[in-house]
Homo-oligomer: A and B are copies of this chain.
Amino acid sequence: MKTGIITIGNELTSGGIQDTNTALIARQFHLQGWQVAATLSVGDDEAMIKKALDFVLPLTDAVVITGGLGPTADDITTAAVARAFNLPLYTDEVVLNHIKEIFARYGWKWTQNNAKQAVFPQGAQILDNPVGTAAGFSLQVQGKVLAVIPGVPVEVKRMLPEVVLPLFRRSFPEESQYPAVRTLKIFGLGEAAVDQAVAGIDQPGIRIGFYPRFPENHLVLSARDAVEVAAWLRVKKAEEEIHRRLGSYIFAYDEETLEGVVAGLLREQGRTVSVAESCTGGLITDRLTDIPGSSLYLERGLVTYSNRSKTDLLGVTEDILQKHGAVSEETARLMAEGVRKLAGTDLGLATTGIAGPDGGSEAKPVGTVFIALADGAKTFCRKFSYRWDRRRVKIIASQAALLMLKRYLTGEANHE
């Protein structure tokens, strides 16, 4: 089955906002096994909307259109689509009453232009919008299915899986396979190495998509089958094989984040942590505190940027700083041990490094980072050498530190 995507709005053709709907929809269609023949954007312009339809319909079986369903004068998608197929417009009283109810419930002032959102082309099937006032609609024209939905990204995110995908499946039952999708999130291996490691798994019946998301690499395994469980079995088998090959580099699945996984482990184990950051500048605690309830396991974080703060708070002696430098294994170890002791937590995590662009030397070039983890009995430390700009050194170092913590908590080896 071939599909097309038309996104409508002057804000898109003027570059005012980034069109995120197209990629979201394309990816979902791709996972269903539906080819996306073309995607295009046009402004809020009736003639261009007609031309876009004339271009896309002959190439496709099903088309989704987003945008231009709002109450304001420049929202003309419904009228333009109706006119393109010579369909008269009518007001749907059920939808109109529903919109009026929403206005009443929230105490919004009713203005007549809102009634526009209850107008549809004759013969349209109304598509309920669970998160906004503008309903969508679908049309059967020239043997094709057209779904028209609002362009607000949160509304697209809901209506696509809940309304559009089921509609297209019903319309083309012979193409109705169920997809099974699993995302494996990988850190610590380069793109080429990941690519090589999964070679040969990409067999008929299973597809492996590779998506770099700095500093992570995501592998998306997908399969399709008329029997849903058969699709999942194929994905499961491929996942096990990849796990066998890359297990220690996989840190999360699907919607999980590294900080979320670490937070879950700390809560489960009833352990507490404190953090002393130099080169990461607070990014580790920022990430840990993005997880609701982080005060249960994060006691404190210190951004010990100056030497004095390392000496005062963490007990990194001036002697050590003089002899080994603020960026050294010795300092990282003392920072982790120092913050753990100061905070009275089970674990202490520390980073020190040179994020650049200045401050590097031949012995310690920009991108040199030491990360240490102390548990009172032992202190682990690893040295990393990154070749990225300042922001990306901070990001990848925060990732490496959180991964070290995660591996400690799961009992995995922390050395490679």
Contact = CB atoms under 8 A, between A and B. Distances in A.
Contact of A18 (B23, B30, B39, B302): B23
A283 B398 CA distance: 13
Interface in A8-51: 12-20, 22-30, 35-43, 48, 51
Contact of A286 (B48, B282, B306): B282
Contact of A15 (B28, B275, B302, B305): B28
Interface stretch (A78-86, A287-295, A376-384): A287-295
A55 interface: yes
14 contacts: A13-B36, A13-B37, A15-B26, A15-B36, A17-B211, A19-B23, A38-B41, A39-B41, A55-B55, A282-B284, A290-B394, A299-B305, A301-B303, A308-B344
A390 interface: yes
Nearest to A390: B292
Given A282-B284, A294-B305, A302-B302, 17 more contacts: A13-B26, A13-B30, A13-B38, A15-B30, A19-B23, A22-B41, A37-B43, A37-B48, A39-B40, A277-B282, A281-B301, A283-B286, A285-B303, A286-B394, A289-B305, A289-B355, A301-B303
Contact of A301 (B17, B290, B302, B356): B302
Main secondary structure of the interface of A (DSSP, over half): mixed
B305 A300 contact: yes
Interface of A: 12-20, 22-30, 35-43, 48, 51-52, 55, 59, 209, 211, 275, 277, 280-286, 288-290, 292-295, 298-306, 308-309, 312-313, 342-344, 355-358, 390-391, 394
A16 to B, nearest CB: 6
A252 to B, nearest CB: 18
| Most central of A40, A43, A306, A309 by chain B CB within 10 Å | A40
Given A15-B23, A29-B15, A209-B14, A303 B306 contact: no
B41 A358 contact: no
Contacts of A277: 282
Contact of A282 (B41, B289, B313): B289
Contacts of A304: 300
A20 B390 CA distance: 22
Please tell me how many copies of the chain the complex holds: 2
A37 B12 CA distance: 11
A333 to B, nearest CB: 19
A283 B281 contact: no
Contact of A357 (B24, B280, B290, B292): B292
Given A19-B23, A22-B19, A30-B14, A282 B303 contact: yes
A299 B289 contact: no
Contacts of A282: 277, 281-286, 289, 301, 303
A36 B16 CA distance: 12
Contacts of A23: 12, 15, 17-19
Contacts of A59: 48, 51
B305 A302 contact: no
A4 to B, nearest CB: 10
A299 B306 contact: yes
A305 B305 CA distance: 19
Contacts of A283: 282, 286
A42 to B, nearest CB: 5
Q: What 6 A-B pairs come out closest when comparing CB atoms?
A: A15-B27, A281-B289, A282-B282, A301-B303, A15-B26, A40-B40
Contact of A289 (B285, B303, B344): B303
A8 B46 CA distance: 26
B303 A303 contact: yes
Nearest to A345: B306
B289 A394 contact: yes
A343 B48 contact: no
A67 to B, nearest CB: 13
